[in-house]
Amino acid sequence: MKQAIVQILLVLAVAGATAASAQAISKEPAYPTKPIRFVVPLVPGGGADIVARTIAKQLREGWKQHVIVDNRPGATGIIGTQLTAKAAPDGYTILMGNTATHAVNVSMFEKLPYHPIRDFTCITLAARLPEMLVVHPSLPVNSAGELIALANAKPGQLTFGSAGVGALSHLTGVQFMQLGGIDLVHVPYKGSAPALSDLMGGQIGMYFGNFLTALPIVRAGKLKALGMTGHKRSLAAPDIPTIAEAGLPGFEAYNWYVVAVPAATPKEIVAALNTNFAAALKNKEVADMLTNDGAEIVASPPNECTRFIDAQIKKYAKVIADGKLRVE
């Protein structure tokens, strides 16, 4: 009899503990419970901004929370990226990084105030797309090969713009000069939008533009496209050849976009963010909008994303060292 009573008491104790645990869990707030700041460390209107706003719209609908795209441009993305690295690691400040912020800057700048791997937890590699070599319509060339010939005939006279020192548009231009054996004058801007604006106005001669921002301008007839920096032609613009086809074999460069949060963000939130961002990227409306403009949807797991960034850091470290481009 006593043994039966003891067993009953044990069962009641376990049941009580289970109920208390369940009650504690139920009190844990769902995520997210307040607006989320989505930091874009570059100017409005650029590729990172377009990708971020496209995804943010879908996340708002799924989360039923405001997702505020916060543009914090400056210093090739350093200002906004550093701001995010130092934000509270609670999942409410998210970064839309890119090739410059997470692969180039760490080798380009001697005193970078953040590290792309140590100071961040990668959520997902969102998308990637090639650059497009565009020129002012008045430039008397119709291919990358003709541009190289013109540059050889006028050494140091043709200009190319970039989104800033160390931006992919800058490094792509440097690679183009190195492989083409030509001398161009680099004109850095504070973002892609002002560079494209000056290109359309004829203040500079050429630009390696982000596909998302350059293609609509080319389609409108305001700029002339000479080539793509991808390893194959884009389905969004199959009439534009690759630069490798113009006689520069092996020439390839992609701008990619990575979603990241401060390093100490809890694993549960990282997992939830990865799931939500993957769902947003695979949404038909989002996927169609991005792929129609030449982007390739990736939506990778966090560990694959980190390995990719590490490999890209090593790649651009060599490019920067060979070109002696490091900024003191």
Q: Look up tokens 């700029």; give the residue.
A: 223
Query: 């966090």: which residue's tokens?
Result: 302
d(CA 125, CA 299): 6
276 touches 104 (CB < 8 A): no
E strands in the chain: 36-40, 67-71, 93-98, 120-135, 159-162, 185-188, 206-210, 224-228, 254-262, 296-297
Cβ–Cβ < 8 Å for 32, 65: yes
pLDDT of residue 179: 87
DSSP state of 241: P
CATH architecture observed for domain 36-129+254-323:
3-Layer(aba) Sandwich (3.40)
What are the pLDDT tens digits along the chain (328 aa)? 445 444 544 444 444 444 443 343 334 458 899 999 999 998 888 788 989 999 999 999 989 999 999 999 888 899 999 999 999 999 999 999 999 899 999 999 988 999 999 999 999 999 988 899 999 999 999 999 999 999 999 999 999 999 887 788 899 998 899 889 999 999 999 888 899 999 999 999 999 988 878 888 999 999 999 999 988 888 888 899 999 987 788 888 888 999 999 999 999 999 999 999 999 999 999 988 888 777 889 999 999 999 999 999 998 898 888 778 877 6
Domain range summary for the chain, segments of one domain joined by +: 36-129+254-323, 130-246
**Do 154 and 180 touch, CB atoms closer than 8 A?**
no
**Is 323 exposed, middle or buried (CB count within 10 Å of its CB: 0-12, 13-18, 19+)?**
middle
36-129+254-323 and 130-246 share one CATH topology?
yes
CATH annotation of 130-246: 3.40.190.10
